[in-house]
Chains A and B, each alone.
Chain A
Amino acid sequence: MIKIMESIVEQNVGHDTTLIEAESIVIRFSGDSGDGMQLTGTQFTDTAAFFGNDLSTFPEFPAEIRAPIGTTAGVSGFQVNFGSKEIFTPGDEYDVLVAMNAAALKVDLPRLKRGGIIITNTAGFDKKNLGLAGFADGVNPLEDGSLDNYTVHKIDITKFTKECLAGSGLGMKEIERSKNMFVLGLLFWMFDEPMEYTINFINEKFAKKQDIADANIKTLKAGWNFGDHTEIFTTRFHVAPAKLPKGTYRNISGNHATAIGLVAAAELSGLPLFLGSYPITPASDVLHELSKYKTSNVKTFQAEDEIAAICAAIGASYGGGLGVTTTSGPGMSLKTEALGLATILEIPLLVINIQRGGPSTGLPTKTEQSDLMQAMYGRHGEGPLPIVAASSPADCFNTVLEAARIAVEHMTPVICLTDGYIANGSEPWRFPTKDQLSPINVTFATEPNGPNGTFLPYKRDEKLSRPWAKPGTKGLMHRIGGLEKAQETGNVSYDAKNHEAMTKLRAAKIEKIADYIPLAAPDSGKSTGKLAVLGWGSTSGAIKTAVRELLEDGYDVAHIHLRHMNPFPKNLGELLSGYEHVLIPEMNCGQLSQLIRAKYLVPAESLSKVQGLPFTTSELKNKILEILK
């Protein structure tokens, strides 16, 4: 076998296999949409996480639920990078490619490392599948020597699964569906991971269908035994547990962390949570997940459309709840008018945009960071709003809590940006306990605050925020609305000077949030120097990896990562001016770099990528080295 990994320590175990110690390994599970690759990848990931590896995942699937079987359009992939060191990205290239059919091999071979391992299901390489994948008549990559630079394991997984389940009483369709378990069992053997986690999972999932559970477990074990007993495999790999900070961990995806963040925000603020949402990829999972927490002071409302979703959330916020709406790009556009209303009403509201490739339907299942300008400026009229962005799957939790805190403590809608990459990707999370989380301070108005016992709904405090008087509060009846307000009374006012004053007050209120957020500081590297990479959102993992590797190589680089996109941390301009170069990598055409250049007049350079894919570490390193040259 070719040496494909770093830090290899050879040991002899058993009769004729070698166990190799590896620091980190990237596996890509790839197959047809119906092949169960997402489940296989998730189970492998959860097992690796459960036994102490650090990791990062990248599920990638087509927009079609079931694209024509066997075509490249229907290929669904799941990538996991797991290691005994800290892992921040799913990996630029993979060490192992599992290709369940010819189309999967065609789509995913280009990013397999030279010398990497390919595990194929030969049943997916018959004449029909080869044709559907677009290979010329008579060409089979498994036979023509084109894969000579890789270690290829050709296994008729379908046949073995059928043999394994012959006499199980299951139909042929159900039997074929179990073949992903064979793959999973084989990989567990190959990477020295135990099967117990998945066996428990299967038993729980099919608690009421024991025959299905038995079949899956039998196939899983058959896969393991296949690795153990056949002479095909001579090498196994072991990735030791990572030396992560002490504590208790769980594996979590970004959308799941977002949902839990909302539950936590409700508890920490004491506010009932109301989610108004309309299904849209890749945001729907937040609605699904949150709908499970109804006993935690959470109400979820699947509205008739995106507009109704945000409007219902506005209604709930007006009623004294924590109104939330979740969506993605096109839905965000539809919500924009209502967001303007919430802006002038000055009520708390969370708008969570899980960005995807745009414009229009664009690339619904692919990732992008191209809605930053929309978040900044996407309303008619002058209507600045606070914006926060999550940098990793687990960070969605912190970001949502921060968004909720700003919303209720500063009486304003807040836009929270995540994206498809971190929404679907997962990582180990050293989750906090409740007592480690700061409370969110909510004050409802209960007493008149104006002369002669009157209530002034737009009287401002030191944060420039207005009182929150919820319906049902005696003596504070008042009317609010989308028409311009007179200062303090909130009555309709068409007065020219008042409009200008209110416009500036609303902007000043948002700007003032900068007094309540942390200052910017480098995540790694020095606070002055040759080059700073300024990032935001989901690029964090790739930038962190690139910058740390370059620092180890002695380069003068730093990484600054933003959570608060509006207002920026107060010292950001000063901090950036301490570097000769500022590089801003973004999965858009340079939106943050425009904002930074305009606001701080620093000659920031943009590194743009709009391919629906996250940055690779090497793309970033190459660009940094090019500038440093």
Chain B
Amino acid sequence: MTTILEQEAAPKLTAKDFASNQEVKWCPGCGDYSILKQVQTVFPDFGIPKEDIVFISGIGCAARFTYYMDTYGMHSIHGRAAAIASGLKGLNPKLSVWVVSGDGDAFSIGGNHFIHLMRKNFDLNYLVFNNQIYGLTKGQYSPTSEKGKVAKSTPYGSVEEPFNPSELALGAKCSFVSRSLDRDPKHMQMVLKRAHEHKGTSFVEIYQNCPVFNDGTFFAFSEKETKQEQSIYLEHGKPLLFSNGTKGIKLDGTRPVIVNLNENGNSASDLWIHDEHDKTKAHIIAGFFDTEYDGVHFPRPFGVIYSEDRPTCEDGMEQQIAELTARKGKPSLDRILSGDKTWTIL
């Protein structure tokens, strides 16, 4: 029997409710499909009405994401989504705002907005689909492409160092730094949830395969044969373990050391316990990218590298207004129009 209560309760949304009526037009096999699916899968769990969700994107393959979500959305201009989202969140802090960006959009043309958003800490979620290549413009190297990358504009190899996005975000005072990848749906869902729960700018870097221009670039981290050696999955309060739990990382002062737990004298209890609130250690973990310690290559970290509770920009704006209003009151428009010094001609 249907009770009145049940009739009134809003039906729980499903993943399908978040799909817009627009045909998805990414290349077959693109990692973006998986990201779209995971986002649509986790959103019903957030319990936010669809009308309170806004996706803002810039330009690039990833940016088309906005059209595929049945929420509010704006597909804007190259690199500027962070600034547009800041204004939107600043005006209406009640909205759940999601920025979808790519490596060129976020770190190249939008680099300035990216770092300043991290510093300002508006409570919004910033997803970067990192495929280490320019896809929509058909295959030029990107600011995350590895040095030596042979691409359309670098037939003899790129001569530039790539950004390490986690280090960049940490350096810019980001309050939530994380990484996931398209081929690990469960992990991505976990990270997306964590990003949503975090109050402040949540930076989620998602390794995304571009089957057309940069196929297999992250396979070392996602495929069975290499994944265990090349990736390390971080969990708050848990030791840093990889290689099916046979290897771990311990700290010798501030120097990370890989230890083989199968060898005598090495114990899991000596390992580095991940503390996502420890910024110093977060910097070391973020450095598991191109930094080598004593010539040893470290596995790439996935999960929440760093999180910190600190005041958001929109709350700061609102609090200042509330305090000023409480102290001074709201002047009438007539008072503002007249100002302090007037004279009258009779």
Contact = CB atoms under 8 A, between A and B. Distances in A.
A434 B92 CA distance: 27
Contact of A323 (B50, B87, B337): B87
B151 to A, nearest CB: 25
A250 B340 CA distance: 8
A249 B345 contact: yes
Contact of B80 (A264, A307, A320): A307
Contacts of B87: 274, 276, 301, 311-316, 318-319, 323
Contacts of A434: 332-334, 337
Interface in A423-480: 431-434, 470-480
Contacts of A433: 334, 337
Given A293-B336, A311-B83, A311-B87, A473 B344 contact: no
B337 A308 contact: no
Contacts of A337: 77
Nearest to A337: B77
Contacts of A51: 343
Interface in A270-285: 272, 274, 276
Contacts of B95: 319, 471-472
Nearest to B22: A491
Contact of B77 (A50, A482, A492): A482
Contacts of B12: none
Contacts of B56: 315
B85 interface: yes
A230 interface: no
B330 interface: yes
Contact of B74 (A246, A274, A301, A480): A480
Contacts of B269: none
Contacts of A474: 49, 51
Interface in A316-362: 316, 318-321, 323, 337-338, 340-341, 345
Interface string A572-603: 00000000000000000000000000000000
Interface in A472-497: 472-483, 491-492
Contacts of A299: 90-91, 317, 321
A46 interface: yes
B191 interface: no
Nearest to A300: B317
Given A248-B344, A276-B87, A295 B337 contact: no
A46 B341 contact: yes
Contacts of A554: none
Contacts of A251: 341
Contacts of A52: 343, 345
Interface string A153-173: 000000000000000000000
Nearest to B70: A477
Given A432-B337, A472-B51, A474-B51, A318 B88 contact: yes
Contacts of A309: 83
A210 interface: no
A260 B337 CA distance: 7
Interface residues of A, number: 71
Contacts of A320: 91-92
A103 B268 CA distance: 79
A304 B116 contact: yes
Given A267-B333, A308-B113, A477-B51, A472 B94 contact: yes
A235 B85 CA distance: 64
A315 B56 CA distance: 9
A305 interface: yes
B222 interface: no
A481 B66 contact: yes
Interface string B85-109: 1111111101100000000000000
A293 B70 CA distance: 37
A110 interface: no
Contacts of B20: 479
Contacts of A313: 87
A321 B338 contact: no
A198 B167 CA distance: 56
A523 B255 CA distance: 79
A111 interface: no
A249 B341 CA distance: 9
Interface in B43-77: 49-56, 59, 66-67, 69-77
B262 interface: no
A21 to B, nearest CB: 19
Nearest to A49: B343
Contact of B76 (A293, A475, A482): A482
A312 B86 contact: yes
A480 B76 CA distance: 8
B325 to A, nearest CB: 5
A241 B345 contact: yes
Contact of B338 (A248, A312, A341, A483): A248
Given A260-B337, A319-B91, A301 B86 contact: yes
A405 to B, nearest CB: 16
Contacts of B337: 260, 264, 431-434
B237 interface: no
B253 interface: no
A264 B241 CA distance: 61
Contacts of A479: 20, 22, 55, 66-67, 69, 72-75
**Of B20, B80, B337, most A-chain CB atoms within 10 Å:** B337
B345 A471 contact: no
B77 to A, nearest CB: 5
Contacts of B75: 479-483
B72 A308 contact: no
B91 A316 contact: yes
A477 B67 CA distance: 11
A321 B70 CA distance: 23
**Of A46, A431, A433, A471, most B-chain CB atoms within 10 Å:** A471
A424 to B, nearest CB: 17
A433 B71 CA distance: 42
B112 A305 contact: yes
B103 to A, nearest CB: 19
**Of B56, B69, B72, B330, most A-chain CB atoms within 10 Å:** B72
Contacts of B333: 263-264, 267, 296, 434
Given A250-B338, A304-B113, A471-B52, A315 B343 contact: no
B11 interface: no
A14 interface: no
B339 interface: yes
B296 interface: no
A627 interface: no
A315 B83 contact: yes
A154 to B, nearest CB: 35
A345 B72 CA distance: 14
Given A338-B77, A479-B67, A248 B342 contact: yes
B3 to A, nearest CB: 24
Contacts of B320: 294
B92 A471 contact: yes
A303 B74 contact: no
A245 interface: yes
A138 interface: no
A125 to B, nearest CB: 36
Contacts of A197: 341
20 contacts: A46-B341, A51-B343, A244-B345, A248-B344, A248-B345, A249-B343, A250-B341, A251-B341, A263-B336, A295-B329, A304-B112, A304-B113, A304-B116, A319-B88, A319-B95, A338-B80, A345-B74, A431-B339, A472-B94, A492-B67
Per CB-CB distance, the 9 closest pairs between chain A and chain B, nearest first, are: A481-B75, A315-B87, A312-B87, A311-B83, A315-B88, A308-B83, A304-B116, A315-B84, A471-B72
Interface of A: 46, 49-52, 197, 241, 244-252, 260, 263-264, 267, 272, 274, 276, 293-296, 299, 301, 303-305, 307-309, 311-316, 318-321, 323, 337-338, 340-341, 345, 431-434, 470-483, 491-492
Given A252-B339, A308-B83, A482-B77, 5 more contacts: A46-B341, A247-B345, A307-B83, A470-B92, A475-B51
